[in-house]
Chain A
Amino acid sequence: MSKQNRAYSIENGIIIINRELTKLDLFVKDFLDVLKRHSNYLVVSGFVSISTGRTRGTEDVDILVQKPSKIDFALLLDDLFKNKFWCYQGDTIDEIWKYIENRDNIRFAKEGEMFPNVEFISVDKSRPTKYFEFTHPQGIKIQDFEFKIPPIEFEILYKEIVLAGKKDVEDARHLRTFFSDIIKRERFKEYEPIIKKELK
């Protein structure tokens, strides 16, 4: 089967998805173009499945971000506002920072819209499972949009073991089937005990 006839290929360790960009991709790309100037990140959960072909809708895109200092977060916030994003939780650093300090997630959407939105999840070493995936990214590319996701095996197990809702189990089945020829069994063994720590 030629490359053009396959839904994905691997080039230099990066998963290349053979499809056009959607408006949802462009929303995430716009957000990441700003975020990347300020911080490391990892796109997790539903968007991982959807970006690889799962046919379902979503209203939010979960992104893990290294917990910032207040000064760094103020600079990121200013850049996001300049690029026409707004934050559900407030318009100023003082209004929003308390959520970051309390480890509450915050949400950003494009001005004048509620959906789609980015759920901004700050992580540090105190959240070992999330921190593990954050520090073991897998590259993925759709056209000129390259971004980082967890290892596919990690994402599958996290959805099956920790999230475990109907939608999550379905997403996991999609990933297991779609990537069946590149999934590595030994990685499931490696990741399972790390993921189970999240349940404790």
Chain B
Amino acid sequence: MELKQIPKTDLDYIEFYAKKLRESPEFFKQQKELIESQLASSSALTKQRFPKENFKAQVRAHLKEIGVF
């Protein structure tokens, strides 16, 4: 795809990427890597913060503490 204008704002980049992706689905591979990397990080942090023993009770206490419910 010819780059007619250099993206400047976040929305410009989103539009540029969406156009690129539409024409070149191999860019989905990058997206998969990003999503799975984030999931792995979240999972590691959760396990570090809330050990397996009494996991649900600890998570619920934390959610109450931060006002989720």
Contact = CB atoms under 8 A, between A and B. Distances in A.
Contacts, number: 98
A6 B24 CA distance: 7
Interface string B7-50: 00011001101110111110111111011101100110011001
Nearest to B19: A177
Interface band, chain B: 35 or more
A116 B28 contact: no
Interface SS of A by simple majority? loop
B69 A113 contact: no
A22 B42 contact: no
A187 B58 CA distance: 47
A19 B46 CA distance: 29
30 contacts: A6-B22, A6-B23, A7-B21, A7-B23, A19-B28, A20-B29, A22-B32, A22-B35, A24-B36, A50-B31, A50-B35, A53-B27, A57-B35, A59-B42, A86-B56, A88-B63, A88-B68, A99-B69, A112-B52, A114-B42, A114-B50, A115-B39, A115-B42, A116-B42, A174-B17, A174-B18, A177-B15, A177-B18, A178-B21, A178-B22
